């Protein structure tokens, strides 16, 4: 593909081409995300798939730099499963400088806007760095969905985030810790904890056919799923597995950003890899309890374990490290147990293995989940978006 010049492809923000739905005021949402659409299905995918029911959505992934990419490549894939949802991936030559990257990305965005007549739109940011090449876009509303706190060791990224927030109409957060940090940074900050696809995970309340790679694993099984990354307390996992060789630890998810050789290895630790979202209930159904092994160092205090309501919907008791967004609301409501060290963890797991017999615990879960769904979350977000659209 040729490198598109911004002089050849200008951004179309003066003409009216796409029909505007009067009840929405915008017809397209352009989302910038560092999370690949095909990776672990999580908050960005849930929200953008809901957004696509009413608006066109262009989910633009952070560019990939490749030594075998001689020229910029813009790939656009319309997802058949969702109405009006397009995944946009970009590959750039590895040798591009920072300024060349910005210019090239501006060119590719201009081409995308022209080809798909993206004019009456809003922008939604997960990728903070993308603000560097979106200055020539003219959205009618800008949303920043903040799902992680930036560490003080990344001052340049903090400056970039400040620039993004200064241009934002709405800031959403996915947990109380992040909300408390951001609420004084912007006049419109709203906390929307990650929600749940209840019907999907409630399937795991009954015994489902065992996946072939899990069926031979002995019981009791203690499971977790999601990215296996720097937030995982691998030393706690190592210690638990050593102390209780009769317990089986099942981990589902890709290994991201850490050396695989550093992960604990034992006969009772099973790394089954990343699994499609659709089959997760089949795995969870065969677990006796779920674990949230999140590092509790200060650098990780803002980590929000988004899988918590999904485990609860499956009626799986949860034992977690002491993460602020787990302590409140989950532990405070008696839904989750937390522990400070390997000895407390072992005792809490022992107790958790009897939870499935507690009718009152299940009722508390169902009462809690009544007001939690991605559909409800999206409708509340969408209302705020509509009220902040620039006329």
Q: Residues 146-177: pLDDT tens digits?
A: 998 887 667 889 999 999 999 999 999 998 88
Taking Cα atoms as reference points, which of 272, 232, 267 lies closest to residue 252? Answer: 272
pTM summary value: 0.86
Pairing outcome for strands 121-125 and 28-33: parallel
Taking Cα atoms as reference points, which of 256, 233, 382, 239 lies closest to residue 321? Answer: 233
269 and 312 housed in the same domain:
yes
309 and 164 housed in the same domain:
no
How many domains are there within the chain? 2
284 and 311 housed in the same domain:
yes
Residues with Cβ within 8 Å of residue 240, at least 6 apart in sequence: 247, 249, 342, 345, 346, 349
56 and 115 housed in the same domain:
yes
- What are the tokens at 214? 């899990």
pLDDT value of position 8: 43
179 and 32 housed in the same domain:
yes
pLDDT tier at 20, thresholds 50, 70, 90 = very low
145 and 58 housed in the same domain:
yes
155 and 212 housed in the same domain:
no
pLDDT value of position 391: 61
pLDDT tier at 296, thresholds 50, 70, 90 = confident
Look up the domain containing 212 and give its range: 198-369
242 and 115 housed in the same domain:
no
> Is residue 305 a contact partner of residue 329, using CB atoms and an 8 Å limit?
no
168 and 189 housed in the same domain:
yes
386: enclosing H helix or E strand? helix 374-387
> Is residue 318 a contact partner of residue 336, using CB atoms and an 8 Å limit?
yes
Note whether residue 10 is domain-resident: no
What is the CA 282 to chain-centroid distance, rounded? Answer: 21
CB-count burial class (<10 Å; 0-12, 13-18, 19+) for 131: buried
What single-letter DSSP state applies at residue 234?
Answer: H
278 and 344 housed in the same domain:
yes
Note whether residue 13 is domain-resident: no
Q: Cα(48)–Cα(33) distance, rounded to whole angstroms?
A: 11
Taking Cα atoms as reference points, which of 169, 164, 83 lies closest to residue 126? Answer: 164
Note whether residue 234 is domain-resident: yes
Average pLDDT, the chain: 90
Hunting for tokens 């009626």 — which residue is that? 315
Residue 301 pLDDT exceeds 80: no
292 and 360 housed in the same domain:
yes
Residue 304 pLDDT exceeds 70: no
Q: Cα(378)–Cα(370) distance, rounded to whole angstroms?
A: 15
327 and 268 housed in the same domain:
yes
pLDDT tier at 83, thresholds 50, 70, 90 = confident
> Is residue 149 a contact partner of residue 177, using CB atoms and an 8 Å limit?
yes
pLDDT value of position 19: 40
Query: How many Å is the Cα radius of gyration of the chain?
Result: 22
Residues facing 337 on adjacent strands: 319
């Amino acid at each position: 593909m040729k490198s598109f010049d911004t002089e050849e492809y200008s951004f179309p923000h003066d003409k009216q081409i796409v029909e505007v739905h009067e009840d929405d005021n915008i017809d397209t949402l352009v989302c910038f995300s560092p999370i690949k659409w095909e990776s672990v299905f999580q908050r960005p995918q849930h929200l953008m798939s809901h957004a696509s029911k009413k608006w066109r959505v262009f989910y633009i992934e952070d560019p990939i730099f490749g030594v075998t990419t001689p020229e910029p490549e813009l790939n656009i894939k319309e997802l058949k499963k969702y109405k009006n949802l397009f995944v946009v991936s970009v590959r750039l030559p590895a040798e591009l400088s920072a300024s060349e990257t910005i210019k090239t990305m501006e060119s590719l965005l201009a081409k995308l806007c022209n080809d798909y007549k993206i004019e009456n739109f809003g922008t939604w940011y997960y990728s903070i760095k993308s603000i560097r090449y979106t200055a020539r876009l003219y959205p009618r509303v800008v949303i920043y969905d903040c799902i992680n706190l930036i560490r003080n060791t990344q001052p340049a990224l903090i400056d970039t985030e400040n620039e993004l927030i200064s241009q934002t109409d709405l800031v959403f957060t996915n947990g109380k810790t992040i909300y408390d940090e951001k609420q004084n940074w912007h006049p419109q900050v709203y906390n929307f904890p990650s929600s749940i696809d209840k019907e999907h995970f409630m399937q795991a309340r009954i015994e489902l056919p065992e996946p072939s790679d899990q069926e031979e694993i002995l019981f009791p099984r203690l499971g977790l799923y999601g990215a296996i990354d720097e937030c995982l307390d691998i030393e706690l996992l190592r210690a638990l597995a050593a102390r209780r060789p009769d317990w089986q630890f099942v981990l589902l998810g890709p290994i991201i950003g850490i050396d695989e050789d550093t992960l604990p290895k034992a006969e009772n630790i099973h790394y089954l890899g990343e699994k499609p979202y659709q089959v997760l209930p089949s795995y969870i159904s065969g677990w006796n309890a779920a674990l949230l092994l999140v590092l509790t160092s200060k650098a990780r205090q803002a980590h929000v374990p988004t899988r918590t309501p999904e485990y609860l919907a499956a009626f799986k008791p949860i034992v977690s490290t002491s993460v602020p967004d787990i302590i409140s609301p989950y532990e405070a409501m008696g839904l989750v147990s937390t522990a400070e060290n390997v000895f407390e963890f072992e005792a809490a797991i022992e107790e958790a293995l009897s939870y499935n017999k507690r009718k009152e615990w299940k009722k508390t879960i169902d009462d809690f989940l009544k007001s939690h769904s991605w559909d409800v979350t999206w409708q509340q977000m969408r209302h705020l978006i509509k009220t902040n659209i620039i006329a």
